[in-house]
Amino acid sequence: MKDVPEFHQIFFKILTGKQDKLSVFTYKTAYYTALLLYCIFFYTIYQPNSVKCSEKNNSEATMIHEQIEKKSKELKQIECNEHKILDELDSIEFQLNRTNMKVSLLSRELDTLDSNIYSIETRQKKLNRKSNKMKYT
């Protein structure tokens, strides 16, 4: 008990009821004063504030929880819309690829037709020349 600080020794003696240098009256006075201070602190200062704080915190927590649920629903709606948009984009991309393939095929056919027309025109010119030569001869 000698290594325990003096302050703690006094309160230990108050709690155990031992008397040492101080009278019983001083111990009881100190004990009841400490008890009274504890009651004043806890019930008049700490407790009402904690009740108010807990009510305030509960209402804030409820509001925050409602906001989280609302934002969660909005996020789910946005994700659903995003999936719909991505599906539409995939469909448009597929149609665009098909259209590009058709344009490519049509372009090749057009090139082939141009080539054939050019070939026909050159043959026609040769035939016209031959026919003109035959007329003059």
Is 35 part of any domain?
Answer: yes
pTM for the whole thing?
A: 0.42
Nearest in space to 60 (alpha carbons), one of 52, 71, 48: 52
Residue 58 falls within a domain, yes or no?
yes
Residue 22 in any domain: the answer is: yes
Instruction: Tell me the per-residue pLDDT of 47-100, one tens digit each, with 9 for 90 and over.
Output: 555 555 666 667 887 888 899 899 889 999 998 899 999 999 999 999 999 999
14, 106, 118, 128 from 121: Cα distances, Å: 127, 22, 5, 10
Q: Does the residue 131 lie in any domain? A: yes
Q: How far apart are CA 24 and CA 31, in angstroms?
A: 10
How many whole angstroms separate alpha carbon 85 and alpha carbon 107?
32
For tokens 């709690």, name the residue: 15
Structural domain that includes position 10: 6-136
Asked if residue 87 is part of any domain, the answer here is yes
How many structural domains is the chain composed of?
A: 1
Is residue 1 in a domain?
Answer: no
